[in-house]
Amino acid sequence: MVARRRALPARFKIQISSLEAEVAFCNALITFAGQIPETVYQRAEIRVYRTLERSLRERLEAARREARERVEKLRA
């Protein structure tokens, strides 16, 4: 018997897309702050954005993992 493919629930698509957009925004902020910071403030700002980006990436991976698990349950 062939398993039917079920679409990912919309709330997961929205959550994943939103997290991807936030990660991209953090990348833009890091780039905007400058790769070679000139002031202590710029260095601190870049560290904060990198920490935020790392946290968002972890949340994104958790959301993707949860979505995959739910899809597998729906297929079973």
Task: Quote the radius of gyration of the chain (alpha carbons, Å).
Answer: 18
Distant-in-sequence, close-in-space partners of 26: CB < 8 Å, separation ≥ 6: 49, 50, 52, 53, 56
For 36-68, write each residue's pLDDT tens digit. 778 898 889 889 999 999 999 999 999 888 888
Our separate counts of H helices and E strands in the chain read 2, 0
Taking the domains of the chain in order of start, what are their residue ranges?
A: 10-75
pTM for the structure as a whole: 0.73
State the Cα–Cα distance between residues 33 and 62, nearest whole angstrom.
28
Confidence band for 74, pLDDT divided at 50, 70 and 90: confident
Is 50 exceeded by the pLDDT of residue 1? no
